[in-house]
Chains A and B, each alone.
Chain A
Amino acid sequence: MANIWEWLSQYTDARVGIPRHGVSQSTEAQLKFQLDHAKARDAVWAELDFVWLAEQLPMDSIAIQSQAQSRSQYLTRPDLGRKLNSDSSNRVAGLEKTQVAIVIADGLSTTAISAGITELFSELKKLESISYKSQKLFLAEQARVALGDEIGELLEAELCIMIIGERPGLSASDSIGIYLTYEPRIGKSDANRNCISNIRPGGLTPKEACFKMNYLINEFYHRGLSGVTIKDLSDEILISDDGVSKLENKD
């Protein structure tokens, strides 16, 4: 029977055709599940080394913290993860006004950031849509997506690019998400943002993600807003440019 399920697994990553002993899963399948869960749990709970992170990036950065003081508080109080602590808020308020705030945040997967940020950031540095704009880079600890709104408000920024570790799944614990908000201000909702998700080995590549980002940012400036009314049509552009879609969903 193994062959049938091997053949079927081309259609889905679901855990189908698990060998059975009595009514129970094989030892191998059970331990594979435990291994994947362990990776996902570690991705949530591992501390991100922000000093190390700053050294990896080819641009000066500013370290900031949310009001969540520990990982467990971060998990139970999402409201605190959306606000700067007073020290960080003073620091950001003292900076000169900036057009683009780039924030790298631990989010719910610290391993996603530590594993994937270097390559993603070097692609991001090539973005044409923001190349002539003033930029500042923040490294944010215990942060939720909406923390970028407060930073944006203090800097009177035109755009916030929030790069954050996504909630780990069992199959992928190392996904990065990018949330883009035009005119980021306190009180903006998720409907005001555009998200590029699933950036990881086996998912969206940093190059593909930045292509989408460039498209979306140009649309924001063109239309003067971001959010649900902006549709990501970058895939179609890629297809029409060279006749081959590099950004097809992998399924």
Chain B
Amino acid sequence: MYHCTVDHHRVSFSSLKELLAKASPKKSGDELAGIAADTELQRVSAQICLANVHLKDFLNETFVPYETDEVTRLIIDSHHSEAFQEISSLTIGELRELLLSEKADSEFLSRIQLGLTPEMVSAVSKVMRIQDLILVCQKCRTVTQFNNTIGLPGQLSVRLQPNHPSDNPLGIATSIMDGLLLGCGDAVIGINPASDNPAVVRILLELMDGIIQEYQIPTQHCVLTHITTTMELMNAGAPVDLIFQSIAGTQKANESFGIHLQMLREAKQAGNELNRGKLGNNCMYFETGQGSALSADAHFGVDQQTCEARAYAVAREFEPLLINSVVGFIGPEYLYDGKQITRAGLEDLFCGKLLGLPMGCDICYTNHAQADQDDMDVLLTQFAVAGGAFIMGVPGSDDIMLNYQSTSFHDALFIREALHLKPAPEFQAWLEQMQLINHQGKIRNNTSGLLQGFSSKFLSAD
């Protein structure tokens, strides 16, 4: 039991799990699950109570049973008691203050990374405002490499997302060209295929590989298909750079995605053996999102943000090049409006960064959520100020395959210009060499059409 006294009233919570759920900023998904605070007073009372809980308590009370959940086992078994030593006496409230203090510089934050569990990180974020989250995020640094470098200070990378509703290679090539001309694609050129047919996926892999080879672009590609399909294609000799998978924070939710940890281990090993990365071997790409565990009926009474943070514990085991929280895609029954989407986006960035991940964000919304472009501009700006690693780039924000709105190539240009951020250094050098940007790093206004030979090689219908 967890108790505290607020305004002379004694309030109690039966478990840490319940306390975190009640302390969570308002989300429609937690309400749908029936675990959210009933009143604003109860929410803040829970936050006050949570601030006094010791970090040690999180090591004694699991949120999902150890015996039946391999994600819990991973979290407990990989917990680093030496890294925890420096913070072991703190409460959640004191951890917040330490994180915000000057003592907690980048080096300190790296040092305690493996002593933090996802539940601790989620808990402390619940007593932090967005400005607190931003300040701590700015101090967290994770650098990863494949064919280029992701996550350097002053860098913001972009996943070029050239989806097409029928996987038409010409249509996809057209969107890729549009993105490259606007300086996007350094995080990855990544297609969500409409089809999960391996033959179609292979055509898309070869298309992207051909473009990257032809123009010697220092980036990597990925088709976001199920990990088993990618493994099958790797075995068949298809050109696979990054291995994609959606992951979640409980074993049952991962089972609903058709995966388990051993499968991820095997895939990573196979990717490493291909040894395609010119600079590094971070070959995994993960996507996550608050609400995925509830949607699979696999949340076990854990709030959606904490489930999400547990997914990051899964991710960090596999040292991904990229991981992004697809924050507004799931719909209003989980994140109702722009305010909830923005808060969730910053929470995810904070939890991921504190756990040591190269966090990106699919800053996005669906048409049945109460959100619009202005909300996305707010989240994009906060995300970039906080030092997020990458965003999506979709032509004109309109993903014609997945039917939702994400950030556009122009949004990427806007935020790079507004905050003086740059693409990956290797990609920046390529843009200069191709004369797509001028010596100040600005996109040229007079680009003379497509890259040379692009139409004849990649856009001829035969």
Contacts and interface: CB of A to CB of B under 8 A. Distances in A.
Interface stretch (B1-9, B162-170, B381-389, B425-433): B162-170
A167 B366 CA distance: 9
A191 interface: no
A33 B374 CA distance: 13
A75 B166 CA distance: 29
Given A23-B413, A249-B166, A167 B459 contact: no
Contacts of A75: 331-333, 336, 368
Contacts of A169: 367, 400, 403-404
Interface string B20-46: 000000001001100000000000000
Interface stretch (A9-17, A56-64, A145-153): A9-17
25 contacts: A1-B449, A8-B174, A8-B459, A12-B164, A12-B175, A12-B400, A14-B400, A15-B396, A15-B397, A16-B175, A18-B395, A18-B410, A20-B445, A23-B416, A23-B417, A29-B396, A37-B367, A37-B405, A44-B367, A75-B332, A76-B332, A108-B368, A169-B367, A170-B398, A171-B398
A133 interface: no
A42 to B, nearest CB: 10
A70 B414 CA distance: 39
Contact of B367 (A1, A13, A40, A251): A40
A156 B395 CA distance: 48
A245 interface: no
Nearest to B178: A16
Interface of B: 28, 31-32, 162-166, 168, 170-175, 177-178, 182, 331-333, 336, 366-368, 372-373, 394-398, 400, 403-405, 408, 410, 413-414, 416-417, 443, 445, 447, 449-450, 459
A247 to B, nearest CB: 13
Contacts of B404: 169
B294 to A, nearest CB: 11
Given A4-B449, A76-B28, A170-B367, A11 B170 contact: yes
Contacts of A170: 367, 398, 400, 403, 405
A14 B162 CA distance: 8
Interface residues on A, range: 35 or more
Contacts, number: 127
A116 interface: no
A13 B368 contact: no
Nearest to B336: A76
Interface majority SS on A: helix, strand, loop or mixed? Answer: loop
Contacts of A108: 368
B29 to A, nearest CB: 9
Interface string A59-94: 000000000000000011111000000000000000
A194 to B, nearest CB: 17
A37 B366 CA distance: 10
A41 B450 CA distance: 36
A168 interface: yes
A11 B410 contact: no
B333 A173 contact: no
A43 B368 CA distance: 9
A16 B182 CA distance: 11
B165 to A, nearest CB: 7
B396 A18 contact: yes
A75 B408 CA distance: 27
